Amino acid sequence: MVLIRESVDADGAAILALVNDAAQAYRGVIPVDRWREPYMSTDELEKEISGGIVFWMVEEERRLLGVMGIQDKEMSLWCATRMSRQPYRERAWEQGFCATWKASPASRS
């Protein structure tokens, strides 16, 4: 069963590991002047959270599948996932996220 939950402070290392791992798939696509190692640092993650981005964890059987960052003020959404080789799971993950997002309008006010 896939679980989507809001991140907690203890998830910081897992968020960074997944984001930086997923970014490797875009090496060579991301412009050279924007690429850095690690792609997201601890300081940058903290800045994003302080700026209002809420991270959501996508898990199945306690295994992290993906992470989503949502910032309401700009209605921006970005995702990082390890499921790129499993498109059927990615679709299910996106559909599950959309259902959760639509079901909780109070969290977007």
The pTM of this model reads 0.68
Q: Which residues contact 78 (CB under 8 A, 6 or more apart)?
A: 68, 69
Q: Are strands 2-6 and 54-60 parallel, antiparallel or unpaired?
A: antiparallel
What would the mean pLDDT of 83-106 be, rounded to a whole number? 46
For the ranges 9-13, 56-60, 98-102, which has the lowest average pLDDT? Answer: 98-102
Q: What is the pLDDT of residues 23-39, one digit of tens each?
A: 888 888 888 998 999 99
Question: What is the share, in percent, of the chain residues with pLDDT greater than 90?
Answer: 29
Structure confidence at residue 71 as a pLDDT band (50, 70, 90):
confident
User: How deeply is 18 buried, as exposed, middle or buried, from its count of CB atoms within 10 A (0-12, 13-18, 19+)?
Assistant: buried
Pick the CATH number of 2-103 from 3.40.630.30, 3.40.50.620, 3.90.1150.10, 1.10.3720.10: 3.40.630.30
